[in-house]
A and B are shown apart, each in its own frame.
Chain A
Amino acid sequence: MNKLFQYVPGNSLIHRLNPVTKIALTVVICAAAFITDHLLFLVCLLAIDLLIGLIAGVAGRTWSIFRGLVKIAAFLFLLQVLLTRAGNPIFWIITDHGLLTAGKVVLRLIVVCMPLTLVLAVTRISDLTNAMVQVLHVPYPYAFTVSTAIRFIPQFLEEMSGIMEAQTARGVAFDQAKGFKKFSMILPLCAPLLISSVRRTDQMAVAAEARGFHLRTRASAYKQYGFSTGDLLTAVFCILLLAAAILL
């Protein structure tokens, strides 16, 4: 689970794209998913997501993200189908309209979530931050805050499982509880987690300030983030995708 957001080193076509291009691609895919109203187009977008994962050489990661999302999606699908009243009944309380809208909602969810996590698998967070600052002129403190928050997610999960292990060793049976019961057992753990992460953030701020945080400018980053042919092609692809979503 906590590997889900980690960078996978590589030198694929996707890895080498400018981080800003990758973000643009992500945003375009998300936008296209919300603009379009065709089930088939959504399926195409999903195929594009999977293809990107494949080209980037992170098929394993892509698959595990996909599988995780499908589990959540299945639950949502069922809920949506059972709750939709409009349309012609097909079977019991299930209507054709219900099936179609549920399918679209669920596909949209998957299509949107996939690139958001994939982008973190193929881009180092520091490159993401630096490129945002250098190319998009985002103020460094904002870029730093966002990237640090993203980086904290796996650490947070790690600490959580650490606490759960410690509790299990003291006889709390997390593994036997299911569903809501498990949730209510985990909830009280959030307080110590929150306290420790607030303290950590504070110390991190000291560490950042003590090494010239406020001196940093847009030109500070050692690496330069230029655009290549790959970036250009991706940009063209983005425009085409967006146009297709609007026109179809």
Chain B
Amino acid sequence: MIAIQDLTFTYKNGKTPALQDICLSVPSGGFLGIIGPAGAGKTTLLRAITGVIPHHYTGDFYGSVHVNGMDTVDTSLDRLSGITGMVFQDVESQIIFPTVEDEILYGLENFGVPREEIPLRISEALHKVGIPDLLERSIASLSGGQRQKVAIASILALKPQVLVLDEPTGELDPGSSRQIFTILKELNEEGVTIVLVEQKIMLLCEFAKDLAVLDGGHVVLQGETRKVLTQVEKLQSVGVNCPRVTTLSHLLTERIGRQQPVCVNLDEAERMVRGLMK
């Protein structure tokens, strides 16, 4: 679904490349989590996937990005955005309209969703993120978390084939964050391809099928989530804090000098400790 080959990108007013020699691919129906320190280029990578790089943010673009077989450089942003929906990192700049209803209507109207289908799409999207009662409210009267949910709902309503989210739970409480991830998982099971930047590693471990770790514009690690998590030292060297179970189980196996895969959740840790005590 998404194929990135040797992508190197430097923003027009940037001195060093924000992304360097990126090779990544996400199959149709994949769920890729991206993590990395501030300024690693995570947002830039998502922009390249959605096509706003190079269509809106210009600069030196080498390599290629294909989405659904289309080269993002040759395809218009309008066509690309019919396939890919993006939830921005900064909610304030994603929301364009003063009321919730207008915000959600906007995309539906533009992409020509049939008139009779629109009310259903709106209520579905709002129900999914758990804010059906906010439809008539003005954005100014909402909390940060509510705004984030509106932003997510406005993209979900469009039913994109590829969903790209940049730290969608940054303003949310743990309960709501989990709720959003559960929705994403459901969509993913329905066949939607998901790419998401997230700092809450526990959630990533649990939901993402694959993981890519970015640092300084490079992909330093990528692969199946569990495989990536076993590289505890490498993760820590780029400042990604592994879940505590992972770190602890890793420390434990190292101390006792045994080769054993790391654990990613409590159940596994329990099983390992029991196994060791036998």
Contacts and interface: CB of A to CB of B under 8 A. Distances in A.
Given A210-B77, A211-B110, A215-B112, A204 B96 contact: yes
Interface residues of B, number: 35
B17 interface: no
Contacts of A148: 96
Contact of A207 (B55, B93, B98): B93
Interface string B72-116: 000001100110011010101111111100100111111110010
Given A206-B52, A210-B86, A222-B105, A215 B98 contact: no
A7 interface: yes
B199 interface: no
B56 interface: yes
A: interface residue count bin: 20 to 34
Contacts of B85: 211
Summarize A's interface: helix, strand, loop or mixed: helix
Contact of B107 (A124, A200, A212, A221): A212
Contact of A212 (B81, B97, B118): B81
Nearest to B84: A210
Contacts of B112: 215, 220
B204 interface: no
B59 to A, nearest CB: 14
Contacts of A203: 88, 90, 93-94
A220 B110 contact: yes
Given A209-B77, A212-B81, A216-B110, A126 B98 contact: yes
B170 to A, nearest CB: 16
B102 A212 contact: no
A212 B93 contact: no
Contacts of B110: 211-213, 215-216, 220
Given A203-B90, A209-B81, A220 B109 contact: yes
A209 B96 CA distance: 11
Contact of B99 (A126, A204, A212): A126
A221 B109 contact: yes
Nearest to B108: A222
A210 B52 contact: yes
Nearest to B115: A222
Contacts of A207: 88, 93-96
13 contacts: A7-B138, A151-B98, A204-B93, A206-B57, A207-B88, A209-B52, A211-B107, A211-B154, A212-B82, A214-B77, A216-B110, A221-B109, A222-B118
